[in-house]
Amino acid sequence: MNISVVIPLFNEEESLPELCEWISKVMTTNSYSYEIILIDDGSKDSSWKVIETLSESNRNIRGIKFRRNYGKSAALNVGFEACLGDVVITMDADLQDSPDEIPDLYKMITEQGLDLVSGWKQKRYDPISKTIPTKLFNWATRKASGINNLHDFNCGLKAYKKDVVKNIEVYGEMHRYIPVIAKWAGFVKIEEKVVTHRERKYGVTKFGLERFINGFLDLLSITFVSKFGKRPMHFFGLWGTLSFFFGGLVSLILIVEKVYKSHYLIPTRDVTDKPLFYLALAAMIIGTQLFLAGFLGEMISRNSNDRNRYQIEKKI
């Protein structure tokens, strides 16, 4: 099978018939073998009934329904597990992504040998309250991940080589960072393509401003897990040792100063009367806690089931 189109959705009953018809037209025109996987993320409207009707009329359409709303990341992860195509295309169900982009995305994966192609909605039809935070979010992600050639990490329209989606796990709200997850899994051939952003035709947006706060926290999480998930002592142990050493050095200096001035009868305050001593003591306590956190994290990591699970590209 050439292409799997994975579409997570929540309350999109009005747009689904038009979207599926449009995708099918593009696939037929280009003679692609394909499947459309619609993941209903606990919709409250008639989305699932629409999916059942579409599946009955088109054997290339499949549906998966969650019992409740788990989020876009969960829907994508389940879709990735179920897809069969050599190239996987993801897009939103609100008709703001154009299926006409599929042939070019497919060719970039198959002909240029790319692992992942991310869409870039260079011209957006969003209010300024959304575009400015989005620019800041993308800037921070580029700096943290080192993927400097992407302008829009959160664009729902992406294309993947099959190996990519079968070797990554998307959870929480990590769908914003799939390029970052793919890079840390060893898939470094990542490019972007300018795509059309269409105005929403039906319904309302499902995301609010809180996604930017959650996005920032997820960025910190994925950066830490990617770099130190299998070696937590390298992070906690380093900072714990530095903190303890700094606190101990300051305490030692204060004590030596006290002994020196007492020996030569120079008036001085008690060590315990100096605020700097308590700051040094706090640094030593924090350093000890960080070191112990790294030690415990190392023990947990050593006993995890995937401690020796690595990405293998080829075998002979």
Query: What CATH number is associated with residue 149?
Result: 3.90.550.10
b/e sequence 211-250, b meaning 16+ C-beta within 10 Å? bbeebbebbeebbeebebebebbebbbebbeebbebbeeb
Same domain, 210 and 292: no
Residue 220 lies in a domain: yes
Provide the residue range defining the domain that includes 247: 233-302
Same domain, 48 and 101: yes
| Token pair for 96 | 């703001």
Instruction: Tell me which of 176, 207, 227 is where a domain ends.
Output: 227
Same domain, 58 and 10: yes
- Across the chain, what does the average pLDDT equal? 87
Same domain, 110 and 244: no
pLDDT confidence band for 254 (50 / 70 / 90): very high
Same domain, 176 and 58: yes
Residue-wise pLDDT tens digits, 261-290: 887 888 888 888 889 999 999 999 999 999
Same domain, 25 and 93: yes
Same domain, 136 and 261: no
Alpha helix (H) residue ranges in 71-209: 72-82, 102-110, 128-145, 162-166, 178-184
Same domain, 162 and 285: no
- Rounded Cα–Cα distance for residues 49 and 60 (Å): 17
In total, how many domains does the chain have?
2
Same domain, 272 and 154: no
Residue-wise pLDDT tens digits, 115-163: 999 999 887 766 666 667 778 878 888 887 888 899 988 899 999 999 9
Same domain, 73 and 186: yes
